[in-house]
Amino acid sequence: DLGIRDVTLCDTIGVANPAQVQCLLREVRAKLPDVELTLHFHNTRGMGLANIFAACELGIQRFETAVGGLGGCPFAPGADGNTATEDAVNMLHEMGYETGIDLDKYLEAVAYTQEHVDARLSGKLLGVRRSTCANVSGHV
């Protein structure tokens, strides 16, 4: 009734699981069918990608992620932080979703960030891509 058309739902301490995400989304959609939803998941317990997948199954198309998984939460000390954009994009591409993101170019940005930011990046794809490329020696 206030004209709100966009809402971002956040799991900023990273404790949600896919079943909870789908249950909450069904309830929110039932009450607010015309509101565009964006979701923000931290990866504290390694559920960030699983939660994005669960939301995709219900038609959610907007997510907040971070380069290399940068970020954190003062309420979850030691947590990995945000879900890594490159990992989310890779998963979505592998599932056939179009994101409009050139993953190879994005990984260059992740590598640049890793070299210039004094923080541990928790994203998985950069390390996997580098080690896979080094080990395959031109084999497909």
- Residues marked as catalytic: 73
Q: How far apart are CA 87 and CA 127, in angstroms?
A: 11
Helices 103-116 and 85-94: crossing angle in degrees, nearest 10, is 160
The amino acid that residue 22 corresponds to is Q
First to last CA, the chain: 56
Task: Order the strands of the 36-41 sheet from edge to edge.
Answer: 6-11, 36-41, 62-64
